[in-house]
Structure 1
Amino acid sequence: MDKMYTLQELSKSTFIPFSEEMVQFNTLDVSSIIKDPNELFLNFYKQFAFVSIPKSYFDWIEKLLTEYNIKCQDKFVTLLCSFQFVYLPHMDKQLDIPLVKDFNEEHNEWELFFNVLEEYLIKDNFDYKNISFQFESKKKHSINNYWVNKDIYEAIAVGFGITKDNFFERKKEILNDTLKLNLNKSDKYILSILVQTLSSLWSIEGKIQNIHLRFIGFFLNLAGVKVSNDNQPIEIFDSLEDNLKHVEVKNVRHYYNGRTKYFHK
């Protein structure tokens, strides 16, 4: 693993290379500063051995952490790059569309599966004519034998640990794991994860102060992640005081609180 992630600049809704001096760092484990990092960040640490950011941005990180009496500047460089890496494909909607379609249909397919299995386990109404398998080559094979079909249903139930007694409990568990993200709001969902990830530095029992939300907002600005709802470009001001003052705390708190509306029901 010797790849390097280079931080990019957000310009007119597009990420472009910085034109200023860049500095390079080793990618570091951030688990010591962030509680329970979301699994979305794991791919970043697996893919990149080095990160590169503008020298001026490293200076901003030093000033920001000094202001908040936080150490481990190098780890926050890794965190900054990982934030952009996680957010970028959702902002640009560069997601694998066929995969997203499968993801969005997953919940509905599981609902259909449980409707069928309920007939077999709960209603004792096993009257299905056959089980069919269709392949990408468009070949279709049907299994028509009653006993073979019955054994297949039984094997499926056993494989998922589903019985007549725990059917509805297991159904709820599996369906809860398939809540599907609304693709049109995926960038907002990722933004919420980023805000909540940083908030673990201070959040106590679901509460966080505005001064800490200002830290989060400016850090996200450095990552090229917009928290504001306007169409204005991200502006980095000349002083740390101005950068913190211009953070829209209300919007950051909105993403800190999180909303299930990011998901389809």
Structure 2
Amino acid sequence: MTLYKWKNFADDSQYSTRTIEECELNFRDLPTEIDSIVKPFFKHYQTTEIPTFNKKLLVDLLALNHLDISLEQFITIGCALQVQWNSALTIYEDDDLVKDFDLEKESYEALFDVLEKFLFAENHKDLHSLSFKFLFSGITTVNNFFVLRDLYEAICLGYGINKENFEERKIEILSMTNRVKLSKLGEKIKTDYARALYDNIESKFSKDSDILRFIGAFFHIFQVPTNNSQTRELLYDDISGTLKSIDIKNFRHYLANRPSIFHV
């Protein structure tokens, strides 16, 4: 079975991998909302490493609350959170295709501005020229009226766009582009997990602040900071200290709408 290797972010810390346990991951009977976000992790791993220190804190955390999710399921959720959040930190580094994917919506909007001018022009005598930039052979510009008209019409045909359905197709195509700013993907992942956990355990807590501390401590046990100013030294020797360290006012924003994560 494929083993997930615990991420040791900080040397000579409480995250040291000197004392490691292995356990089976448990994806069975997870709540639907949680299952949907851990599924990519499930496709790659069946067992995981976890430091004994972190596992003990998780056991102590769960002992304070009577929840319907088992220890093994929480380990599964936490490892999925850890690997997805960690991967998000490096996805944006020096990759032109990734950057193009990030700006896909912006580029489509620019294209639709051009196509709109073409489709709704009173005449096509003043069509803007089109330039094609090649990596090694410079720029080729097309400014012949007849060729330009054919190119514009071919683009519209390819996207199934005409004057009658322009706005409808524009909305439809833009809705299929990437919405999340990739530089904010780590925050999006934390938001998804925080909301999914909150929705599924809220009924087990009498105070909202206790839910936030629980989820925040859970994040810290799996080395995911709840405050961007924090280092990865997130844990205390006992679970009470870890719970007290959670800035619930800051953590609450993971449950709110966060437009800054998305492209407008």
Q: What's the TM-score, normalizing by structure 1? A: 0.77
Pair 105,21 (structure 1): closer, same or farther in 2 beyond 3 Å: closer
Aligned counterparts of 1:11 and 1:258: Cα–Cα separation in 2: 32
User: What residue ranges of structure 1 are gaps of 5+ in the alignment?
Assistant: none
Aligned counterparts of 1:16 and 1:247: Cα–Cα separation in 2: 18
Aligned counterparts of 1:190 and 1:97: Cα–Cα separation in 2: 21
Pair 264,120 (structure 1): closer, same or farther in 2 beyond 3 Å: same
Residues matched between the structures, number:
257
CA shift for structure 1 position 118: 0.8
Match of 2:181 in 1: 181
Pair 221,187 (structure 1): closer, same or farther in 2 beyond 3 Å: same
Matches within 5 A, 1:109-188: 109-123=107-121, 125-127=123-125, 128=127, 133-138=132-137, 150=149, 152-176=151-175, 177-179=177-179, 181=181, 183=183, 185-188=184-187
Aligned-residue sequence identity (percent) comes to: 27
Q: What's the TM-score, normalizing by structure 2? A: 0.77
User: What residue ranges of structure 2 are gaps of 5+ in the alignment?
Assistant: none
Match of 2:50 in 1: 53
Contact 1:89 1:95 in 2 (8 A): no
Contact 1:214 1:244 in 2 (8 A): yes
Aligned counterparts of 1:193 and 1:236: Cα–Cα separation in 2: 22
- Counterpart of 1:165 in 2: which secondary structure? coil
The Cα offsets for residues 51-108 of structure 1, whole Å up to 9 and x where unpaired, read as: 2112333333333334322233222212111111111133457645323321343233
Match of 1:44 in 2: 41
Aligned counterparts of 1:94 and 1:68: Cα–Cα separation in 2: 38
Contact 2:187 2:261 in 1 (8 A): yes
Contact 2:212 2:252 in 1 (8 A): yes
Pair 21,179 (structure 1): closer, same or farther in 2 beyond 3 Å: closer
Contact 1:119 1:125 in 2 (8 A): no
Match of residue 96, structure 2, among 84, 95, 98: 98
Aligned counterparts of 2:258 and 2:6: Cα–Cα separation in 1: 29
Matches within 5 A, 1:166-245: 166-176=165-175, 177-179=177-179, 181=181, 183=183, 185-202=184-201, 209-245=208-244
Deviates more, 1:136-145 or 1:120-129: 136-145
Contact 2:213 2:246 in 1 (8 A): yes
Contact 2:197 2:215 in 1 (8 A): yes
Deviates more, 1:241-250 or 1:128-137: 128-137
Match of 1:63 in 2: 60
Aligned counterparts of 1:31 and 1:149: Cα–Cα separation in 2: 58
Contact 1:23 1:55 in 2 (8 A): no
CA shift for structure 1 position 224: 0.4
Pair 180,21 (structure 1): closer, same or farther in 2 beyond 3 Å: closer
- Counterpart of 2:168 in 1: which secondary structure? helix
Contact 1:217 1:247 in 2 (8 A): yes
RMSD between superposed Cα atoms in Å: 3.5
Aligned counterparts of 1:194 and 1:247: Cα–Cα separation in 2: 16
Pair 150,94 (structure 1): closer, same or farther in 2 beyond 3 Å: closer
Contact 1:236 1:243 in 2 (8 A): yes
Matched, 1:35 2:25: no
Aligned counterparts of 1:5 and 1:146: Cα–Cα separation in 2: 60
